[in-house]
Amino acid sequence: MPKDEYFKGWYFKCCNKSQTIAFIPSFHCCDGKESAFLQIITDDKAFRLPSLRLRYREKPLLAKLGNSVFSEKGIKLDIETDELTVQGALRFRWLSPIRYDIMGPFKFVPFMQCRHSVYSMSHSIDGKLAINGKRYVFHNGVGYIEGDCGVSFPKRYVWTQCHFSNGSLMLSVADIPMPGICFTGIIGIVMLNGKEYRIATYLGAKPKHIGSNTVTVSQGGYELTAKLVNKNAHPLSAPLNGDMSRTIHESASCTAYYRFSYKGAVLCEFTSNRASFEFEYG
- For residue 7, which phi and psi values (nearest 5 degrees)? -145, 160
Share of the chain above pLDDT 90, in %: 87
Q: Containing H/E element for 227?
A: strand 222-230
Q: What is the mean pLDDT of residues 134-146?
A: 98
Residue 204 has a pLDDT of: 98
CB atoms within 10 A of CB 198: 19
The whole model's pTM is what?
0.96
Residue 51 has a pLDDT of: 64
Rounded CA gap, 174 and 118, in Å? 16
User: CB under 8 Å to 12, separation ≥6 — which residues?
Assistant: 22, 23, 24, 70, 75, 143, 144, 145
Taking alpha carbons only, the member of 247, 234, 220, 218 closest to residue 276 is 234
Q: Is the pLDDT of residue 1 over 60?
A: no
Q: Is the pLDDT of residue 282 over 80?
A: no
Cα-based distances in Å from 18 to 3, 128, 178, 250: 43, 14, 42, 18
DSSP state of 153: -
Interval 252-281: pLDDT, tens: 999 999 999 999 999 999 999 999 999 999
Q: Residues 122, 161: contact at Cβ < 8 Å? A: no
Residue 180 has a pLDDT of: 82
Rounded CA gap, 65 and 69, in Å? 6
Taking alpha carbons only, the member of 176, 184, 230 closest to residue 209 is 184
- For residue 4, which phi and psi values (nearest 5 degrees)? -105, 10
Find the radius of gyration of the CA atoms of the chain.
Answer: 18
